[in-house]
Amino acid sequence: MLRTFACASVLALLLAPLPALAQQRAVPDNRAQVQFSLAPVVKQVTPAVVNVYGTRVEKRPQNPFFDDPFFRRFFGDGGFGVPQDRVQRSLGSGVIVEPSGLVITNNHVIENMTEVRVALGDKREFEADIVLRDPRSDLAVLRIKGNGPFPTAPLGSDDTIEVGDFVIAIGNPFGVGQTVTQGIVSALARTQVGISDFQSFIQTDAAINPGNSGGPLVDASGHVIGINTAIFSRSGGSMGIGFAVPAAMVRTVLASAKEGGKSVRRPWFGARLQVVSADIAESMGMERPTGALVVSTLPGSPAGAAGLKSGDVIVAVDGRAIEDPDSFGYRFATRPLGGRVAVTILRGGKRADIPVELAAAPERPAREALTVASNSPLRGATIVNLSPAVAEELSLQGLSKGVAVQELDQGSTAERLGFQTGDVVLAVNGSEVETTKDLDRVMRSRASYWQVTINRKGQVFTTMFGG
């Protein structure tokens, strides 16, 4: 069972105390080397590791009798039957990456939270603003509301690490306080994990437990190579299988936050891909099933403009081999916007490098966001026109028609009736919906029943609701 937790573990190399040896990989050959301490790296990084606390107060509906002075005379403010506000809390970890107070943590740590506080290792506590949330990578950026400069941990490169490297993780497991654990890199580019949209995780056996999510995974030289995000567990505790979002994705999210964006701008490829099966590999004369098979390309997309065709097999990005569509998505999405990237394909048994433009998905048509206020099943849902940019943000591959649910107000009619973020509304009461204006017009009509057709993750179905 896969669990996402707040992680603050810092994994480090046994030879860390000697900076000159930090880049060398060697098995200890004497007892003295084995007895080297991780303390220098821990002292370097821990001041930048923070505990993250999120809270949200849920107002419960109140009976009008509770406002009556006569009633309150007998029952008081907290008397029998008076509904109490419910406070939800979350606990996680984070790491400061900018002296101004920018903190990287997991999105699931602060998801739905309205107030966030961070506590530093020196016992100082500050309120923090949520600068950017990125559910697709399960990362979020906070800004400490205090006077800097703050201690920082430098971002490293996940491209330089290898399986077997020693690492350390730092965090606040179970709320016991800042804790350091040590292990090795167990695997790289783990896909098919199901944690987020971009599947290319660093796997480690460093102990990661509830409260560790958002904490750093650190190499021997004290550089953050990943953000601990999830563990595989049957008990809820560490079983030696943990996953971290690589530093390259952290840089992409951080860049958008520093530019003032409310969402992450990534390169748009514009093609539907699938896994290369053993049968497909054999039919194409491949030695083994690897890469990503191009099923189709969208008109006007970078993939289409570059000349990629159905049946091409993508095997590398900028010379780095990719194993499946997930690893391609990660490699492509972490390239900076602007310029081109070399995509290596197999076509007709021959390899070819095709330059693909690194451009953001266009927002055509404009979103024209609509928050439904009429007495209808979609009341409380924010709907936007579907565009390549919206499709990228909501992971709606291959869809180009209709309007999409971008957000749901908590406790709204739409949420209670089961609508989900990413649902694409195709028709209401038999009327086709192509724009938010179409939806607004249909929703304003009085109806004794509602018939809504939606596309949810490729499945199209129609649901009936009473008027």
Binding residues for substrate: 108, 138, 211-213
Q: Which helix (H) or strand (E) segment is 162 a member of?
A: none
CA dist 242 to 179, 184, 195, 201, 399, Å?
Answer: 16, 11, 12, 9, 34
Active-site position among 93, 137, 138, 256? 138
Per the annotation, the verdict on 223 as an active-site residue is no
Per the annotation, the verdict on 108 as an active-site residue is yes
Which parts are annotated binding residues? 108, 138, 211-213
| Axis-axis angle for helices 247-258, 325-333 (nearest 10) | 40
Structure-block tokens of residue 384 = 């936007």
> What pairs with residue 341 in β-bridges?
356
Q: Which helix (H) or strand (E) segment is 251 a member of?
A: helix 247-258
**Helix, strand, coil percentages, rounded to 5, for the chain:** 20, 35, 45
From the list 447, 413, 453, the residue with the least C-alpha distance to 432 is 453
Eight-class DSSP state of 70? H
CB 242 within 8 A of CB 203: yes
Q: Around 194, how many Cα atoms within 13 Å sit in the side-chain half-sphere? A: 5
- Please work out, in degrees rounded to the nearest 5, the angle formed at the alpha carbon of residue 426 by the alpha carbons of 198 and 382: 65
Q: Is 466 helix (H, G, I), strand (E, B) or coil?
A: strand
CB 192 within 8 A of CB 203: no
Structure-block tokens of residue 231 = 């563990």
Q: What is the Cα Rg of the chain in Å?
A: 25
What is d(CA 297, CA 38) in angstroms, rounded to the nearest whole number? 50
Per the annotation, the verdict on 138 as an active-site residue is yes
Active-site position among 93, 108, 324, 438? 108
Active-site position among 213, 221, 256, 327? 213
**Residue 105, burial from CB neighbour count under 10 angstroms (0-12, 13-18, 19+):** buried
Sequence-ordered list of residues with C-beta below 8 angstroms from that of 63, at least 6 positions apart, any chain: 81, 83
Where in the sequence numbering do the catalytic residues fall?
Answer: 108, 138, 213
